[in-house]
A and B are shown apart, each in its own frame.
Chain A
Amino acid sequence: MEEPRQTLLLNQLWELQSANGFINDADIKRLASGFNLSDVEVEGVVSFYHFFHRKPTGKYSIYLNNSIVADLKGFHRIKETFERETGATFGSVDRTGTFGLFLTPCIGLSDQEPSALINFYPFTNLNAIKVKDIVTQLKKGVAPETICDIPADNIRYTPPGNKSVFFKPFEAGSAIERAGKLGPEKVLEELKKAELAGRGGAYYPTWKKWDAARLQPAVPKYVVCNADEGEPGTFKDRVLINTQARSLVEGMMICGYTVGAEQGIIYLRGEYRWLQHKLDEAIREYREVGLLGRECAGLKGFRFDIRVQIGAGSYVCGEETALLESLEGKRGEPRTKWFFPVEKGYLQQPTVINNVETFCAAARIIETGTDAYMQLGIPGSPGIKLLSVSGDCKLPGIYEIEWGMTVAELLELCGAEDPYYIQVSGPSGECISIREKYRRISMLDLLARKDIRCGGSFMIFSKQRDLVKVLLNFSEFFKSESCGICTPCRAGNFIIQRKLERLSLGLANEKDLQELKSWGTIMKNTSRCGLGKTATNSLIYAMDKFHDYFTGKLDKEFNGLNQRFDMEGAVKDYEKYKI
């Protein structure tokens, strides 16, 4: 089946955005008639993604990361410096139309903050002098790609004794060759034995997903790789793509072979455009040696190819069904659970969606067999996990740990500085107190809350950090990244943010805390997709685990009947008319 034309919409919008710096009315009209859509539909798509603009963005568009880790590392100073040096303010373009300054949530470089993207090339470890220098060079007309940084991989730890799973050399074709010998059933059996589960954070058994897709009678089927790593503080997929693009490609091939799919699509987040060449090179290499294409990898009747689709700035597109909508060239709004992707996914065809790490792990397990893999980790949770560690520590970067490592060990390894609370799996995950440092990181015991099941990010905050400020940053993030389709997430995140602002200003009372908790639970129970369901996770955990801290933030004078009311602030506007 030919992919319908609307799937190309995002690519064409990217071309216009890159060429002109914005998408004008005439472009919208032309695209709408070209795709046989109404104008408002194309505008809806454009306005959904924050890298697409309807107004000029200047010769150089600068996206500065405003995630919480950037905030710890001096975001405000960098922001000021950019504004002073370029003459533009954030959210707008300077008078000469040279620089456009914009804020963007985490760009996957939390180990080298503060960082920014200039025309989508990475600039890391920024300081005031460096920013000054960059702007001066850009003013002289130096192309950003010639002066950009090449972000370091910062692989800080692999299991001792050369037992790394992900980062040992990978020979092209080795895994798919073995998969061909095993046959689809045996491949599934090995994955089942290795207990590989979705590494995006949901931990759905990979073999089950693949098997369900394999049993679907409808063809064609699709294999989609979710490389939209948007969870703030996570950057493991960036490093995997940069160093292990081949094992990713091969993981997708194994999946295609197992489920009977012919087309693979990698959905790469817009923030990682600078990594696209790594994927393109790997795919080209595979095509050249006959590993991709017809009769690929010498397997009779197996044909498979992969293309890369670039996202355009939207966190919610990491949700699998939103990602599918985005792939189809639409707004990235999550679907309902009326159908699962393995039944009706991309273009309503059976589709397997897995994360980069999952495909890489699948390729490695099939490459070497389960024996070596099973020796790592702990019983019930075999193998390894990649963690992106950032925040208040000496050695931020990638940690390839065996399941079963404790939080304390990890903190020791990364040189954590006076750790107090730790945000696990990003803002939508769980926040843990240093008192819980002897908890293990594993796939076990989720309900008993003994072990921690981690999506891949570990943000460490020292005692000097203001927890409410951290939570406000998360809340702001969810408020603007919600797709806006369901009430509890769209309105709820906004409402929660207002409440947290009261708390940070010291205007809240005990009732406000109870309400925050109760409203957070309502959002969790009623939201449409994972974003709204998890947006208040950290807040609820934090209020339990740091109860004293929150009580200390309350307004002590509140007498139960009168609310705190800032009369001076409320009449400030009117006082202007005093004669």
Chain B
Amino acid sequence: MAKMVTVTIDGKNIEAEEGKNLMQVARQNGIFIPSLCYYEHIEPPLGTCRVCTCKINGKFGPACTEKISEGLTVEVNSPELLDTRKAVVEMMFAEGNHICPACEKSGMCDLQHMGYELGVSSTRFQHLFKDRVIDFNPTRMVMEHNRCIKCLRCVVDVKTSEGKKVFNYQNRGNETFVGIDYEQEAKLTEAEAVNAMKICPTGAIILRGVSMAEPFGERKFDRESVQHNYNVKKKPVSRPALMSKKIVATVSLAGCFGCHMSLLDVDEELLDLVELVSFDKSPLTDFKNFTNRCHIGLIEGGVCNSENVETLRKFREHCDILVSLGECSIWGGLPTMRNSIPLSECLEEAYLNSATSEPGANIIPYHEDLPKILDRVYACNEIVKIDYYIPGCPPDANHIWKAVKNILWGEEYSILYSEFKYD
């Protein structure tokens, strides 16, 4: 029997077995420490994602690579640490090309889940849009390098019966990716291949024909926060303000109007809404120009052409508060799929070489009256200052309504886990 010792986590004394992993001990004691690479049966622990960074005996360090020892003092939920961990998760979103609405793993993705748990509504870092390939060569698997967070789980855990690795890191620095060995992949049993897909914390390893077995909306992380199982739960703070009628403007830039549709899904609360707000420039009123100064502007869609830039600047000029509504507005979203491809290739594909273009087509539209296409799709906050972000594709109607109410009148802010979505 191992020796029992006392450790202190966030001021609480806990008895634990000496030499045990801190992560396990915290979880057993109802303390939530977010993590992505940690996988209980892998030893030594991987320590790659750094999402579990805590303060251990006063020093920053990951909880997953710390052994329990007498007198260990751990700080988990200080404001600084909450922000630091959130930053690391945001870095992953900024580094990869994570487009949740187009991902097979959505709802079962650990990264997406951590985003929800930590309340990542936008990334503070500019997205890097690095061009990555999707590897369709393996017989059963698809390697989606855009989504890989390089957690090392598959590299260490997935091996053939001969003990050979199927996955391994390639290159280094910002060029690092996880390579797959086609020959060894073919040797895995079906169960082992499914396991490989399952242990991947994102949708980087996809198994053909199996990935959609569970329906969206009923998946592991779709409904409820795991933090319900823990004692400590973090709630954002709200601030009070006066109730008075407010003026709202909305616009859809490089978006699909999906966010506007979602806005209408507020259903009967729309009746409350018209009592409280009036709409100025908006597709809902069809006002082409601003007639009043507005309290709040809701921006859907990113910025893909020169007209978008101008419209957005006008919104900034006429609105006190600007809110990015939906993924496209926050960081570019689906339209950024073109960001790693040169503009000329995109235009030529669309107007000249596609299956549906006129035979003999040789013109790419250009006229001084047409908006000019930008070299890539920009996030709104690269053009103007954005005050708030409401994530989702589209954001849940209740989420929009609550956030807007909170911003305008400072009501109690309580977005349910199930309303906070990226897809």
In the complex, whether A148 has a CB less than 8 A from a CB of chain B is no
Q: Which residue of A lies closest to B96 (CB)?
A: A491
In the complex, whether B131 has a CB less than 8 A from a CB of chain A is no
* CB atoms of B343 and A574 under 8 A apart: yes
Residues of A within 8 A of B (CB): 36-41, 43-44, 47-48, 314, 316, 331, 333, 335-339, 479-488, 490-495, 498-499, 515, 519, 522, 524-528, 560-563, 565, 567, 569-579
Q: Which residue of A lies closest to B319 (CB)?
A: A561
Q: CB within 8 A of B179: which of A44, A571, A575? A: A44
Chain B contact-residue range equals: 35 or more
10 closest cross-chain pairs (CB), A and B:
A484-B176, A40-B181, A491-B95, A336-B47, A44-B168, A525-B60, A338-B44, A38-B164, A573-B343, A571-B372
* CB atoms of A486 and B47 under 8 A apart: yes
Give the complex CA separation of A317 and B33 in angstroms: 31
Determine which residue in A47, A561, A570 has the highest number of CB atoms from chain B within 10 A of its CB, and name it. A570
Q: Which residue of A lies closest to B174 (CB)?
A: A494
In the complex, whether B161 has a CB less than 8 A from a CB of chain A is no
User: Given the complex, which residues of B lie within 8 Å of A578, measured CB to CB?
Assistant: 366
Task: Write 19 A-B pairs (CB below 8 A) sorted by A numbering.
Answer: A38-B160, A38-B166, A38-B184, A40-B166, A41-B181, A48-B172, A336-B44, A338-B67, A480-B174, A481-B172, A485-B176, A488-B91, A491-B128, A495-B128, A560-B385, A562-B385, A563-B385, A565-B382, A567-B309
* CB atoms of A562 and B47 under 8 A apart: no
- List B327-349 residues whose CB lies under 8 Å from chain A: 342-344, 347
In the complex, whether B230 has a CB less than 8 A from a CB of chain A is no
Give the complex CA separation of A562 and B237 in angstroms: 28
User: Given the complex, which residues of A lie within 8 Å of B364, measured CB to CB?
Assistant: 577
Give the complex CA separation of A525 and B174 in angstroms: 20
* CB atoms of B179 and A40 under 8 A apart: yes
B155-190 interface mask toward A, CB cutoff 8 Å, 1 = contact, 0 = none? 000001000111111111111100111011000000
20 further contact pairs, Cβ within 8 A, besides A563-B382, A574-B366 = A37-B165, A38-B165, A40-B166, A41-B168, A316-B172, A336-B45, A336-B62, A338-B45, A480-B173, A486-B48, A487-B92, A490-B95, A490-B173, A519-B87, A562-B385, A563-B385, A570-B375, A571-B374, A577-B347, A578-B366
* CB atoms of B375 and A498 under 8 A apart: no
In the complex, whether B384 has a CB less than 8 A from a CB of chain A is yes
User: Given the complex, which residues of A lie within 8 Å of B65, measured CB to CB?
Assistant: 336-338
B298-317 interface mask toward A, CB cutoff 8 Å, 1 = contact, 0 = none? 00000000100100010011
* CB atoms of A39 and B385 under 8 A apart: no
Give the complex CA separation of A491 and B164 in angstroms: 29
* CB atoms of A40 and B88 under 8 A apart: no
Give the complex CA separation of A567 and B313 in angstroms: 13
Q: CB within 8 A of B306: which of A44, A47, A491, A567? A: A567
* CB atoms of B91 and A491 under 8 A apart: yes
Q: CB within 8 A of A39: which of B152, B174, B181? A: B181
User: Given the complex, which residues of A lie within 8 Å of B51, measured CB to CB?
Assistant: 487
Q: With A41-B168, A47-B171 known to touch, is A525 a contact of B84 (CB < 8 Å)? A: yes
Q: Which residue of A lies closest to B160 (CB)?
A: A38
B45 → A minimal CB distance (Å):
7
In the complex, whether B373 has a CB less than 8 A from a CB of chain A is yes
Q: With A43-B179, A336-B45 known to touch, is A488 a contact of B88 (CB < 8 Å)? A: yes
Determine which residue in A47, A335, A499, A567 has the highest number of CB atoms from chain B within 10 A of its CB, and name it. A47
Q: CB within 8 A of A526: which of B60, B95, B342, B343? A: B60
